[in-house]
Structure formats: C-alpha cells, structure tokens
C-alpha cells in the first residue's frame, strides 16, 4: 500500500473508531416501500468523492448501515503464472460492535479479526480460481482488460463470500461485509510469486 493510502487508512480507521458510538442515519422507510432495495449499496457520497482513491466509508446491507472498519491487503496465485492482489474493505455494523463490547470481553474482536482474515483468504482463493485470467487476444487495450478482470473477480468474490459471511454473522451476531476495492486490484498473467503476498 502506498504512503497516501496508508495515511488515508489510518485517518479512516481513527475517524470510524471515534464515531462508532454516534447514531447512524437509517434509510427512509417511505423510499423502501416504493422501490426495491438492493442487498448492498453505498450511502450518498460527498461531492469531492473520488472512487479511484477513496473507498466508500458507509454501505447499506440488508437495511443496516455498515461502516468501513478495516482495509486488508492481500493476494493469491492461481498458478505459477496467474494471480491477483489488492485491497479488501471490511464493513461492520457499529450497533453490533457496541452491543458486543457490552456483552463480551474486548479480546473477542481479535478472534473476529482472525476469522475475517481467514475467511477472506479462502473467499479470494475461490474467486481467483473461478476467474479467467488468461490474456485476451481480442482485448482492445490494457484498460479494457483490467476492467473486465476486475468486474469478473469482484462478481466471483461476492458469489464466493455469500455463504461464509452468512455463517460468520450467524455465529458472531456481528453484521459484516467484505468486498474488493476495484481500483486497487492488480492482475498477474505472466508470473505470480506467492512470496510477495506473505511479506
């Protein structure tokens, strides 16, 4: 992760930690009745928001507002030639966090963090295994190829994540969402060294 991204991550995490106990605005119930609600969507974004630099700080999942609580970096090799790496965003329900803090010892969050890292690694492996990383000879340029691979990996990641995230939520009572940050994704098609992801 580059220096501006590290600084941004540190600022985001400290802001979210400081604001975790603030009331979270709930979506308008009248709007819910008139239009179908997507399972996961972003809150309205500020005018200076840049989707290529700033991950969304809040998303809506099943009617709950989730805050960005962690940015994880990771990567997986599909084989000796192909793989992918990038940043992965972890969102959590601040109300669930407050409730769990009152009910359980604070060490439980270290256990949650380990579980989230492990399940995210498994999900990423499944997503990469399902993604066709073969060089497309018909692709017009590298940007088009990057866009296609990003779309395919993101779709495969969400598909692979559905079951494990539901199981985690049932087990821990902490509502979370884990998603790739598309602008951060890098694809390897001519050599993938797993040691670069384990440093």
The three-state DSSP-derived secondary structure of the chain is CCHHHHHHHHHHHHHHHHHCCCCCCCCCHHHHHHCCCCCEEECCCCCCCCCCCCCCCEEEECCEEEEEEEEEEEEEECCCCCEEEEEEEEEECHHHHHHHHHHCCCCHHHHHHHHHHHHHHHHHHHHHHHCCCCCCCCCCCHHHHHHHHHHHHHHHHHHHHHHHHHHHHHHHCCCEEEEECHHHCEEECCCCCHHHHCC
Mean pLDDT of 112-133: 96
pLDDT of 136 reads: 75
- The band of 44, judged by pLDDT with boundaries at 50, 70 and 90, is low
Full set of structural domains in the chain with CATH: 69-199 (3.30.479)
**Which range, of 21-35, 55-69, 163-177, averages the lowest pLDDT?**
21-35
Better-scored residue on pLDDT, 22 or 121: 121
pTM reported for the whole predicted model: 0.73
- The band of 198, judged by pLDDT with boundaries at 50, 70 and 90, is confident
Q: How does the average pLDDT of the chain come out, rounded?
A: 81
Predicted confidence (pLDDT) at residue 24 exceeds the cutoff of 50: no
- The band of 47, judged by pLDDT with boundaries at 50, 70 and 90, is low
Predicted confidence (pLDDT) at residue 31 exceeds the cutoff of 90: no
């Amino acid at each position: 992760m580059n220096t501006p991204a590290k600084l941004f991550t540190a600022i985001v995490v400290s802001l979210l930690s400081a604001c975790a106990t603030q009331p979270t605005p709930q979506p308008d119930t009248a709007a819910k009745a008139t239009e179908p609600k997507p399972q996961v969507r972003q809150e309205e974004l500020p005018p200076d928001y840049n989707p290529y630099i700033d991950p969304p700080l809040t998303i809506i999942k099943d009617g709950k507002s989730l805050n960005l609580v962690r940015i994880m970096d990771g990567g997986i090799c599909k084989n000796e030639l192909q793989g992918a790496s990038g940043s992965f965003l972890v969102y959590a329900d601040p109300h669930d966090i407050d409730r769990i803090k009152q009910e359980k010892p604070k060490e439980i969050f270290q256990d949650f963090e380990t579980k989230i890292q492990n399940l995210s690694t498994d999900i990423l492996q499944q997503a990469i295994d399902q993604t066709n990383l073969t060089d497309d000879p018909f692709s017009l340029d590298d940007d088009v190829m990057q866009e296609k691979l990003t779309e395919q990996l993101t779709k495969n990641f969400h598909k692979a994540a559905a079951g494990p995230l539901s199981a985690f939520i049932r087990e821990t009572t902490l509502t979370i969402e884990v998603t790739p940050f598309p602008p951060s994704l890098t694809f390897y098609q001519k050599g993938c060294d797993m040691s670069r992801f384990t440093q």
